[in-house]
């Protein structure tokens, strides 16, 4: 089968797997080291890197989107990302649009790496949970030291080399009660692109871990941030969640996977070439295969991938009568299936989403009408 045929998809690449120079209390990916116990350090080989890039650029995509994540991808060093660009140049079809994003804790950003990222227009998403006291509560070095100052030093280095920097905020027990403080801190630090992600992790018995948040707190956090953004920052600050909802309301399409009807927008590629359907489901039962052994067309047609993609629509019967079902679509599978394996469970965040939509939807719909009419959004 021609690998250029088929639907569009992105790649979420884990070149250093779950290896990281930090030891954040709430990181769900650190435990994935257990999948690859054969070596102390996990690094993507040149063979795997070349095959990933060559094969992906052999498909037909409106934009070839490669997101370099971890663990901590900067453990690979500047030379690795120089190889990335060289291979992309070598194998890119004529006229191809290539997008590279780096998701990093920003504590290892050197002048040389930042210069390379800026030269080739990488986007950097930096993990930052708010002011030092909130950020440092869970984002620590292996010796237990806070990292806020190191993160901000890395952000300054990236900006010095004209790398666009987004802030990714994990909303946890450390900051969920302080939405305005978090939001204003990020604005004051010059961030104009923000992403808020709920922290919800469980122990082996299905009980939320101490740093997790509840549905109501998630709603109250979003509501306060939305009010501040709506009042004065619509044209200055981009918040991924709100922009994604506006995309859904205006164009009927999902701006991010949580608002998609199917979980088939990207593949995870581990350091050794193993392929999985989702960052939250890097587990043996969801392994699709290895990039050294199969084509992307075969991965797309894999029963594992196709079955996983369809789980999103197997939501609770309660969702069918919900006024917000067309936006929520049952929520992310992580909050429905972990722990347990039944996608028909209501999302643990369901009550919070209802509170948020009740609070914000009318104003979002008004903004959507303005966008649809081609009017500039109010500041």
**Dihedral pair phi/psi, residue 169, rounded to 5°:** -110, 120
Residues in the chain: 379
208 three-class SS: strand
- Other Cβ atoms less than 10 A from the Cβ of 4: the count is 12
Q: How many CA atoms, within 13 angstroms, populate the side-chain half-sphere of residue 349?
A: 29
- Other Cβ atoms less than 10 A from the Cβ of 285: the count is 9
Q: Positive or negative CA dihedral for 205, 207, 208, 209?
A: negative
**Dihedral pair phi/psi, residue 274, rounded to 5°:** -65, 140
129 catalytic, yes or no? no
Give Cβ neighbours of residue 328 (< 8 Å, ≥ 6 apart).
259, 319, 322, 347, 350, 353, 357
Q: Which of 3, 25, 233, 279 is catalytic?
A: 279
4 three-class SS: coil
d(CA 377, CA 166): 21
User: Active-site residues: which are they?
Assistant: 279
């Amino acid at each position: 089968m021609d690998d250029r045929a088929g639907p569009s998809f992105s790649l979420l690449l884990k070149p250093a797997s779950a290896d990281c120079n930090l030891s954040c209390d709430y990181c769900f990916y650190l435990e994935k080291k257990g999948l690859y116990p054969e070596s102390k350090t996990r690094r993507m080989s040149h063979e795997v890197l070349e095959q990933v890039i060559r094969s992906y650029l052999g498909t037909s995509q409106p934009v070839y989107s490669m997101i370099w994540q971890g663990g901590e991808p900067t453990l690979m060093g500047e030379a690795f990302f120089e190889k990335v660009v060289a291979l992309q140049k070598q194998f890119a079809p004529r006229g191809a649009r290539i997008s590279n994003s780096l998701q990093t804790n920003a504590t290892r950003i050197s002048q040389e790496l930042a210069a390379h990222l800026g030269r080739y227009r990488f986007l950097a998403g930096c993990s930052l949970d708010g002011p030092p006291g909130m950020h440092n509560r869970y984002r620590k070095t292996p010796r237990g030291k806070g990292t806020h100052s190191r993160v901000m030093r890395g952000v300054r280095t990236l900006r010095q080399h004209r790398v666009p920097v987004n802030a990714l905020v994990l909303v946890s027990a450390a900051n969920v009660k302080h939405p305005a403080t978090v939001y204003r801190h990020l604005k004051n630090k010059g961030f104009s692109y923000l992403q808020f992600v709920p922290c919800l992790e469980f122990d082996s018995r299905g009980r939320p871990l101490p740093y997790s948040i509840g549905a109501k707190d998630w709603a109250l956090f979003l509501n306060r941030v939305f009010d501040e953004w709506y009042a004065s920052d619509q044209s200055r600050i981009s918040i991924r969640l709100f922009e994604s909802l506006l995309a859904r309301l205006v164009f009927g399409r999902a701006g991010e996977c949580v608002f998609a009807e199917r979980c088939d927008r990207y593949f995870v590629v581990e350091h050794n070439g193993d392929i999985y359907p989702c960052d939250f489901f890097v587990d043996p039962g969801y392994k699709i295969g290895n990039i050294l052994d199969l084509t992307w067309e075969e991965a797309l047609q894999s029963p594992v991938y196709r079955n996983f993609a369809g789980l999103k629509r197997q939501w609770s019967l309660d969702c069918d009568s919900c006024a917000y079902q067309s936006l929520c679509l049952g929520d992310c599978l992580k909050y429905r299936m972990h722990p347990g394996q039944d996608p028909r469970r209501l999302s643990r965040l369901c009550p919070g989403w209802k509170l948020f939509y009740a609070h914000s939807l009318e104003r979002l719909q008004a903004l959507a009408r303005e966008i649809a009419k081609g009017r500039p959004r109010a500041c």
